[in-house]
Amino acid sequence: MEDSPLQVLHFPTTPYPDQRPGTGGLRRKVFVFKSKINYLHNFVQSVFSSIDLRDRQGSTVVVGGDGRYFNTTAIQVIVQMAAANGVGRLVIGQNGFMSTPAASCVIKKFKAIGGILLTASHNPGGPDGDFGIKFNTANGGPAPEDVTEKIFQISRSIEEYAICPELRVDLATIGRQSFDLENKFKPFTVEIVDPVESYANMLRNVFDFAALKELLSGENHIRIRLDAMHGVVGPYVKKILCEELGSPANSAINCIPQEDFGGQCPDPNLTYATDLIESMKSGRYDFGAAFDADGDRNMILGKHGFFINPSDSVAVIAANVFCIPYFQHMGVRGFARTMPTSGALDNVAKATKIQLYETPSGWKFFGKLMDAGRLSLCGEESFGTGADHIREKDGLWAVLTWLSILANKKQSVEQVMIHHWKTYGRNYYTRYDYEHVDIDTAVEMMLDLEVIITEKAFTGQKFTIGDKTYEVEKADNFEYSDPIDGSITKNQGLRIIFKGGSRIIFRLSGTTLSATIHLYVDSYEKDVNNLFLDPQVKLAELVNIALKLSQLCERTGRNTPTVVT
């Protein structure tokens, strides 16, 4: 306990116009947070001010991050501001580290009113990289739109912030620290916790750890390779997969969190997860997976790098959902996918007569459905998969889910996938990202395309390439009406749906700092003789139609995308 109470001070500040959170929180270049006066303070104050004072007084808030550059500096400021804003207790991950799924779990465990997560997720880190702040609410999930909008509105007219500038916390030592504050009746407390333990505990109740241990270290064990990509999930992989489930130490790579993620983009896809892809080629490993910096994304690979498309991944899990004890106990109430995710999950929903929901991109829309007891399993094409055990997508959960299926089916990753396609048909899928394009060009392209596709005559229009004709059945700018509270979310991507179900979708990224155009293309195939084509060949005609319609190459000056999934 400090000798004399710490001062609570109020400082004037001027607002920034650009603090509207995107698909996954507020993301900016490190230098913006670091050098623009009060940029961080303004946003953090706006987050606290968005919470009713009665709810805030004496409450618990969780804080943690993906360990990127500026993580601990930002946490020290958040601690000082939380204390000054009436928060009673902060629960912080040791050394400021906490994966996003672990934060979701810890928020519930400590009955917190929310959590502040310092992460820019899959975006690059380091002094020249990106920094980000996400705010999660009491259910453990990303703040819904009305909350992020409120935060944004406050940030536009903020006049002062509150802070205890002398308060310093020791982030390294597990345990409780108390601080007496001026004019405060009760001390402010900080609890430094090991989030790995809370998270592992939760997973022990979701999976059959004995069966997984047998799979990974029993007599006929398989070999796995997991790439934490220098992000925050490394210690979780080590503890759960290696120490507890007995996988050898060399099955986990890049497991020490680094401020700049080793200079790599911590994005688990076919372009950036290079170490994993390289080591899978040798054929020494039966199963491979990579995670993003904050541990909520996952990429699954089979032997020789057999790639599981994330849209297929959630469908495979849905089809084999009862291989996981959690679902055996809880049952399955509904499935959901984001709009650009392929219809593979829809096929399983149809066959099992389970309700399917289609939401905009981003995890926040799933949480409401889960809280209302309507949703059990969901996924995104962007390497996000999860369930209602928490309110965030969960990379390690996805890995243990796949391993549970392998253990149960006694099949390889490839066999599981092929069996799935033979049963349900295959949704060929590809996503092209055009990163760092000129923002005005991108916005203009989207506006013009919207005009074209929403003209009345567009529906019914036919596109013929070679001997194939695609007829437009429906085209719109996707809009979501929330089945729980009726709220409407507009402008979520341009979709062109053809007869037979093939789709072309255009969307602008809401997480990258420079403009990124996403082009998503999918096409359903049920003929068993056509299940093993190269998606790029199979989808070439549709991609062609998309590029012609949008004039993307001419407008952006790009002939090829920067990332292909």
User: How many Cβ atoms sit within 10 Å of the Cβ of residue 115?
Assistant: 29
Put the strands of the sheet holding 563-564 in their side by side order: 462-465, 468-477, 494-498, 503-508, 515-525, 426-437, 563-564
Q: How far is the CB of 162 from ligand VG1 (least distance, A)?
A: 29
Interface map 342-381 toward ligand VG1 (x if CB under 6 A): -------------------xxx----------------x-
Name every residue whose Cβ is closer than 8 Å to that of residue 127 and which is 6 or more positions away in sequence: 30, 31, 69, 260
Greatest CA separation found in the chain? 83
Q: Nearer Cβ to ligand VG1, position 45 or 137?
A: 137
Please choose which of Co ion, ligand VG1, none residue 93 contacts, taking the beta carbon within 5 to 8 angstroms, the exact cut-off set by kind: none
**123 vs 401, beta carbon nearer Co ion:** 123
Report residue 553: phi and psi, to 5°.
-65, -45
**Residue 380 site contact among ligand VG1, Co ion, none (CB < 5 to 8 Å, cut-off depends on kind):** ligand VG1
- Strands 494-498, 503-508: pairing kind: antiparallel
| Helix and strand totals (H; E) in the chain | 20, 27
C-beta separation of 310 from 318 below 8 A:
no
- Cα 258 to its chain centre, rounded Å, is 20
Q: Which residue's CB is nearer to ligand VG1, number 450 or number 525? A: 450
529 CB burial (10 A radius; 0-12, 13-18, 19+): exposed
Q: Which residues are catalytic?
A: 121
How big is the site for ligand VG1, counted in residues (CB under 6 A)?
19
**CA-based end-to-end distance of the chain:** 54
Residue whose CB is less far from ligand VG1, 60 or 119: 119
Tell whether residue 310 is a contact of ligand VG1 (CB under 6 A).
no
Q: Which stretch binds Co ion (CB under 5 A): 54-62, 90-98, 287-295, 556-564?
A: 287-295
**264 versus 509: smaller Cβ distance to ligand VG1:** 509
Given Co ion, ligand VG1, none, residue 363, with its beta carbon under 5 to 8 Å by kind, binds ligand VG1
329 burial via Cβ count (<10 Å: 0-12, 13-18, 19+):
exposed
| Residue 506 beta carbon to ligand VG1: minimum distance, rounded to whole angstroms | 12
Residue with Cβ nearer ligand VG1 (198 or 512): 512
Q: Could you tell me the two tokens for 12?
A: 């004037």
- Cα 84 to Cα 110: distance, rounded to the nearest angstrom: 21
Which positions ≥6 away from 206 have C-beta within 8 Å? Answer: 324, 325, 326, 389, 397, 400
User: Please, which residue, 208 or 522, has the CB nearer to ligand VG1?
Assistant: 522
Tell whether residue 492 is a contact of ligand VG1 (CB under 6 A). no
Task: List the single partner that 108 binds among Co ion, ligand VG1, none, CB under 5 to 8 Å by kind.
Answer: none
C-alpha 389: how far from chain center = 15
Q: How far is CA 455 from CA 164, 314, 380, 461, in A?
A: 57, 34, 29, 11
Residue nearest to ligand VG1 (CB): 121
For the bound state, the minimum distance from the C-beta of residue 204 to ligand VG1, rounded and expressed in Å, comes to 24
DSSP, collapsed to helix, strand or coil, labels residue 72 as: helix
* 512 binds ligand VG1, rule: CB under 6 A: yes
Token representation of residue 201: 């505990």
- Residue 227's H or E segment, with its range, is strand 224-227
Q: Is the CB of 255 or the CB of 515 nearer to ligand VG1?
A: 515
As a whole number of angstroms, the distance between CA 518 and CA 498 comes to 19
In the list ligand VG1, Co ion, none, the entry touching 509 (Cβ below 5 to 8 angstroms by class) is ligand VG1
Q: Which of 40, 130, 146 is nearest to 367 (CA)?
A: 146
Q: Which does 286 bind (CB under 5 to 8 A by kind): Co ion, ligand VG1, none?
A: none
**245, burial (CB in 10 Å: exposed 0-12, middle 13-18, buried 19+):** buried
Smallest distance, Co ion to C-beta of residue 292, A: 4
Region from 180-188, 310-318, 469-477, 510-518 binding ligand VG1, contact rule CB under 6 A: 510-518
Select from ligand VG1, Co ion, none the partner in contact with residue 361, using the beta carbon and a kind-dependent cut-off of 5 to 8 Å: ligand VG1
Quick one: 16 or 383, whose CB is closer to Co ion?
383
Stretch in the footprint of ligand VG1 (CB under 6 A) among 165-173, 481-489, 505-513, 551-559: 505-513
Residues 119-178 that bind Co ion (CB under 5 A): 121
Q: Map tokens 């195939």 to a residue.
A: 525
What would the x/- binding string for ligand VG1 be over residues 377 to 416, using CB under 6 A?
A: ---x-x-x--------------------------------
The 3-state secondary structure of 449-502, one letter per residue: HHHHHHCHHHCCCEEEECCEEEEEEEEEECCEECCCCCCEECCCCEEEEECCCC
Footprint of ligand VG1 on residues 1-40 (CB under 6 A)? 23-24
Give the position of tokens 């509904």. Answer: 334
Pairwise CA distance, residues 425 & 524, whole Å: 7
Contact (CB, 8 A) for 511 and 417: no
- Nearest distance, CB of residue 393 and ligand VG1, angstroms: 7
Helix (H, G, I), strand (E, B) or coil at 418: helix
Site string for Co ion, 243-282 (x = CB under 5 A): ----------------------------------------
Q: Which x/- pattern over 114-153 shows residues binding ligand VG1 (rule: CB under 6 A)?
A: -------xx-------------------------------
User: Given candidates 126, 275, 510, 555, which one binds ligand VG1 under the rule CB under 6 A?
Assistant: 510
Which residue in 208, 286, 292, 346 binds Co ion (CB under 5 A)?
292
Q: Which is nearer to ligand VG1, 192 or 273 (CB)?
A: 273
Residues from 275 through 304 that contact ligand VG1 (CB under 6 A) = 292, 296-297
Where do contacts with Co ion occur on this chain (CB under 5 A)? 121, 292, 294, 296-297
Q: Under the rule (CB under 6 A), what is the footprint of ligand VG1?
A: 23-24, 121-122, 292, 296-297, 338, 361-363, 380, 382, 384, 509-512, 518
